Structure 1
Amino acid sequence: MQKKLLILGAVLGLLGVILGAFASHGLEKLLTSEQLETFQVGVRYQFYHAFLALILGSTTFISNKAKNILFVLLLSGVTLFSGSIYGLATNSLTGFDFTKIALLTPTGGLLLISAWVLILFQVLKMKTK
């Protein structure tokens, strides 16, 4: 599970750099400044959780069962949260109306919040030496 979390963190980080650069250099003339800022919010949260996955993959105080759950929460949460933000921000460029699936954003956010809550519980369960 360590490796899966580390790979997830690396892939999310890699895609974050690519998407952030794409927004700054490829979308700057196609989107309004408000749409670009919205897109960058998705990138920012993707990076936060890329770093979290890298940290989790490097820790030993969280059980493998919890790490499996965290992997799913982070992957699905970032996909739904940041992915839907990317879609909403670029809605004017596509033929698909992303506002019809706007509920994916808060659903993804709840999954990410759940990951942080699970981490908190794992830390509270730790035995102090």
Structure 2
Amino acid sequence: MAKFYLLLSALFGASGVALGAFGAHGLRGQVAEHLLEAYKTGVLYQIFHSLALLGIALLMQTWGSRLSLSVSGALFVSGIVLFSGSLYALALGGPRWLGPITPIGGSLMIAGWIALFIAALNFSK
């Protein structure tokens, strides 16, 4: 599981940088400013949570594959896809029904941090 989260961390990190560059150079002047800001928020949260996945992978290597770490990683992945993905889609002209998906993704990210907190509480060498 650690390798899986390490691979996803690298994939989300690289795609976050690429999407950020696309937003900065390809979308400026092409979409409304508020949509560009939403897009930037998606990139920012994707990058931060790709680093969180890196941390999960490293913790799994150190602590072992604990359920709370696996749950945290799964919540971060789901949160990235739903939160950042919906913001990207909305900025690029996707259907408005994607709007309510964004807070679901954000809630999953928060739940991922709570699961990581639980993992830390249960940590013992």
Q: Do the structures match in fold with TM over 0.5? A: yes
Give the TM-score normalised by the residue count of structure 2. Answer: 0.89
Percentage of identical aligned residues:
37
CA distance in 1, matches of 2:105, 2:113: 13
User: Which stretch has the larger CA shift, 12-21 or 65-74?
Assistant: 65-74
Task: State the partner residue of 1:47.
Answer: 47
What is the CA distance between 1:62 and its match in structure 2? 6.1
Give the TM-score normalised by the residue count of structure 1. Answer: 0.87
The answer to whether the 8 A contact 1:77-1:112 is kept is yes
Name the SS of the counterpart of 2:24 in structure 1: helix
The answer to whether the 8 A contact 2:87-2:102 is kept is yes
Structure holding more helix per residue: 2
What is the CA distance between 1:31 and its match in structure 2? 1.2
Task: State the partner residue of 2:76.
Answer: 74
Task: State the partner residue of 2:109.
Answer: 112
CA distance in 2, matches of 1:119, 1:112: 11
CA RMSD of aligned residues (A): 1.6
CA distance in 1, matches of 2:70, 2:63: 14
Find the structure with the greater CA-based Rg. 1
Letter in 1 for 2:104: T
Name the SS of the counterpart of 2:63 in structure 1: coil
Q: Does 1:124 align with 2:121?
A: yes
Task: State the partner residue of 2:100.
Answer: 103
User: 5+ residue gaps in structure 1?
Assistant: none
Name the SS of the counterpart of 1:49 in structure 2: helix
Q: Which runs of 4+ in 1 moved over 4 A?
A: none
CA distance in 2, matches of 1:54, 1:126: 18
